[in-house]
């Protein structure tokens, strides 16, 4: 059985390994340089202190996480979500996404946004099933354009990426 909680300081050392293991699922979809990227300990600590980081626990051990950034007023951006492949396909990702959406609604955010792969089955189609809709490029806010530009600089192909939004 899994449960989702707001991340504790003691959870942070586990997150990088989850991040790297989950990235391997994207081999062939993202450049190796991106697959090897990890979130800094400082970013995890900041997100944890702000209440913008949730973990999925198996017993008391983190096996997944979701991190939100508030890049613009009234919008929560799902910056990252990862589930260790050993615990995949058990509803953890769905529960993490819905936890973020519930948090956003309770905290006055009118929407949750994200960027994901257009052509990976457990990316865009997964989020669409959860009520996210594609944001056409011409409707992207400056904050979302900045996220896409950063992804492109890091080596992600913008034609294979999509921005999505779910109203809360």
| Tally of domains within the chain | 1
pLDDT band at residue 116 under the 50/70/90 scheme: very high
Across 116-131, average pLDDT: 95
Q: What does the alpha-carbon distance between residue 23 and residue 62 come to, in Å, rounded to a whole number? A: 16
Q: Rounded distance, CA 6 to CA 15, Å?
A: 13
- CB atoms < 10 A from the CB of 38, how many? 14
Average pLDDT over residues 43-68: 98
Predicted confidence at residue 122, as pLDDT, reads 87
Whether pLDDT at 121 is above 90: no
In this structure, what DSSP letter does residue 107 have?
T
- Nearest 5°: the CA angle 132, 69, 81 is 60
User: Whole-structure pTM over 0.85, yes or no?
Assistant: yes
Q: What domain range is 68 assigned to?
A: 2-167
* 3-class state of residue 130 by DSSP: coil
Average pLDDT, the chain: 97
pLDDT of residue 31: 96
Give the CATH number of the domain where residue 152 resides: 3.40.630.30
């Amino acid at each position: 059985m899994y449960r989702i909680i707001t991340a504790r300081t003691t959870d942070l050392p586990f997150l990088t390994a989850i991040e790297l293991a989950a990235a391997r699922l994207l081999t062939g979809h993202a450049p190796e340089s991106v697959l090897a990227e990890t979130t800094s300990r400082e970013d995890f600590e900041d997100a944890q202190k702000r209440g913008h980081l949730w973990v999925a626990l198996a017993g008391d051990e983190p096996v997944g996480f979701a991190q939100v950034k508030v890049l613009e007023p009234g919008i929560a951006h799902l910056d990252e979500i990862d589930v260790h492949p050993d615990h995949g396909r058990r509803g953890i990702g769905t529960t993490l996404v819905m936890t973020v959406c519930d948090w956003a609604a309770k905290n006055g955010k009118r929407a949750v946004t994200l960027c994901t792969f257009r052509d990976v089955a457990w990316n865009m189609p997964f989020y669409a099933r959860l009520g996210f809709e594609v944001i056409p490029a011409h409707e992207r806010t400056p904050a979302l354009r900045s996220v896409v530009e950063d992804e492109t600089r890091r080596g992600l192909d913008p034609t294979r990426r999509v921005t999505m939004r779910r109203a809360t």
